[in-house]
Structure 1
Amino acid sequence: MSERLQLRLGGTTDDAGNAVAPGPATPITAIGVAPGASVDVLALGHDGEKVAYSVYFVPSPGQLTDEHELFVRGGWYPVRTYVWKSANGTGRTGMVAVCERGRG
């Protein structure tokens, strides 16, 4: 079941270390949103990150990178993106965006 989300370029810092405001939000549609991390995502090793959601896209949206944030179920989250491959042997691939709640 697909879910409509919002995507924006995350807040960054300029060369002088000053905060730069996040970019404007644009709509994006995921094929699924799962709370927490799947077994595949946990196997990637996250350096103590706490995963709020794993968001799945097929096909992989080219505009989504690790520099973006997703608005998922009421909150903005920085993401880490990975190639995703279906576990049921269909050969279907896409992208999983891991929404980080914070760092441990």
Structure 2
Amino acid sequence: MSEQVIRHRGGGRDENGKLIAAGSPVPLTAIGVAPGGGSKRLTRTRTGEDIVHVVYFPLGTDVVNADELTVRGERFRIIVNDWRMRGRGGLEVLCSRGQG
């Protein structure tokens, strides 16, 4: 079952502190959204962050680590992992939230 999520790209400040214009939000169709494990800390994440959702996309989906995703009404920082096995693969996107 597919699910729609929203990709947010750009925005924030550059190295000189000047505002960077944000791009328009882009809807993406995910293969699926799975729970991320709650308050468990995973070694793939940055220190002090919890994985709330894991979103799966087909290979070639335009999503990178600098983006953010809105999943089920909440916005998250992301970590993108691509995987391939026997000619098949996809993108695994970890949606994280800093805690503490």
TM-score normalised over the length of structure 2 = 0.77
SS in 2 for 1:20: coil
Q: Percent identity?
A: 39
- The code of the aligned residue for 1:93 comes to G
Of the three residues 90, 93, 100, the one matched with 1:94 is 90
Q: 1:94 to 1:20 in 2, by over 3 A?
A: same
| Structure 1 residue ranges without an equivalent (≥5) | none
RMSD: 2.3
**CA 14–82 in structure 1, closer or farther in 2 if over 3 Å, else same:** same
Q: Which position in structure 2 is the counterpart of 1:76?
A: 75
CA distance in 2: counterparts of 1:10 and 1:19, whole angstroms: 10
Residue of structure 2 equivalent to 1:20: 20
CA contact (8 A) 1:30 1:56 kept: yes
* Larger relative helix fraction: 1
Following superposition, the deviation at residue 51 of structure 1 comes to 1.0
Rounded Cα–Cα distance in structure 2 between residues aligned with 1:103 and 1:22? 25
1:66 aligned residue: 65
Q: How many residues align?
A: 96
Gaps of 5+ in 2: none
Inter-CA distance 28–65: structure 2 relative to 1 (3 Å threshold): same
**Alpha-carbon separation, structure 1, partners of 2:75 and 2:3:** 15
Aligned residue for 1:12, secondary structure, equals coil
Q: Is the 8 A contact 1:10 1:69 kept in 2?
A: no
Instruction: Give the partner amino acid of 2:49.
Output: E
Larger displacement relative to structure 2 (65-74 or 76-85) = 76-85
